[in-house]
A and B are shown apart, each in its own frame.
Chain A
């Protein structure tokens, strides 16, 4: 019981300590606003920040959806065909190893001039897609060769093997890679908004920069709080989904 409460207790204690120290040491609010000030900023700008929150959330989840579809599709293609592996895997790796901050401006120029949201989605997708691909690829490689023999023995075609063996076998890895991908999609969206700069994006990251430029440090922190709340919420949601699916399939002890 105490173990379950510990994280919440420690968090509350740290916030109280923060609040107390800011007042006791009379810390300048430009340096570090008190939690109460951040809360006040959240309340005051709640409506406009919520709009920004939804904007960033939308970009993140569209990118995550694209990463899911493209990552799964490409993983199966690469797993089936050496040619596809030779053709696509290097590109995927290049996209993965090149820092996204460096790619972002190029993509913004190519695709974001009239439609900034499109560029944001593409950038977030690039970051989110690789863990889906690599997680799924290693799950497909890890399938017991005897199970593949079994399917071959009983005359299973390519589709039957995909549907009855490969997809179900890769499902746990897919669900856990989605958790990672969701976090990365959010990072990608934030980086993209940073790179996009003024006037083009209405997301949380842009509001954060803007508040910084205006020295509204409490609003900056409010944006930060919302961003980590978003990250936490989607991690929790996908974790819940993962446990639900695995339990239904008998892969997790109830």
Chain B
């Protein structure tokens, strides 16, 4: 892909909680405008911490985050779980980012719901929806304020494989149609390989960038193509490098337990 303008740049970013080991350390990361960046790593690699730092939900204890325009653009955030208000309707949930800014925009809400294919469920309550539908509501909520940057934190980890693939395709479509920049945290190799224009592999304890793989763009998004499997293999290799033998033992033990 063309070396587009950087939307944001992490410079030697670190986050230490108390006196314990840093969750992330000396992370340098470039996010080009319009890129689909996937952060791939084992648990404990600080993926979520990095995403929270980018979102401004947390502040780095070392280094800094530089934004192209000096400050973060409008952003949307999708959490690991749908995090919907159970007492509010789908439309009210989607509208929340606007409501909190004192705005009312039923058209924007309708547009966001249509974009995720839930136009007909605006009056439903979250409990009446399946897990996948709830996640789509959550994505619609992230889109309603017309963000430039969409941050997703392992959004589909709790869903079944088919739903996960469908929602993945949805995110792909939204990324293209709405000219978004996406940072997508995942621990799934195929998911990272499928989506990424730039796949970042993190090592753990402390979280650091281990490998950055830029993937050709535009390309056909397929989960069965040879190119996809080749990317998966590269990512798997890079991920294996981040895990020492200790980790392998750990994994064995916990599997026995």
Contact = CB atoms under 8 A, between A and B. Distances in A.
A168 B87 contact: yes
B87 A151 contact: no
A146 B57 CA distance: 11
Given A147-B83, A150-B77, A160 B127 contact: no
Contacts of A151: 100
Interface in B81-100: 81, 83, 85-89, 96-97, 99-100
Contact of B100 (A154, A249, A250): A154
A160 B85 contact: no
B85 A146 contact: no
B86 to A, nearest CB: 6
A144 B99 contact: no
A152 B127 contact: no
A155 B102 CA distance: 11
Given A149-B57, A151-B100, A155-B100, A250 B83 contact: no
A168 B100 contact: no
A151 B81 CA distance: 15
A160 B100 contact: yes
Contacts of A251: 86-87
Interface string A156-175: 10001000110011010000
Contacts of A152: 57
Contacts of A168: 85, 87-88
A149 B100 CA distance: 13
Contacts of B79: 146, 149-150
A250 B127 contact: yes
A153 B145 CA distance: 12
Interface string B116-144: 00000000010100000000000000000
Interface of B: 52, 55-57, 75, 77, 79-81, 83, 85-89, 96-97, 99-101, 125, 127, 145
14 contacts: A144-B81, A146-B83, A150-B79, A153-B75, A154-B96, A154-B97, A154-B100, A155-B100, A156-B100, A164-B85, A165-B85, A169-B85, A250-B125, A251-B87
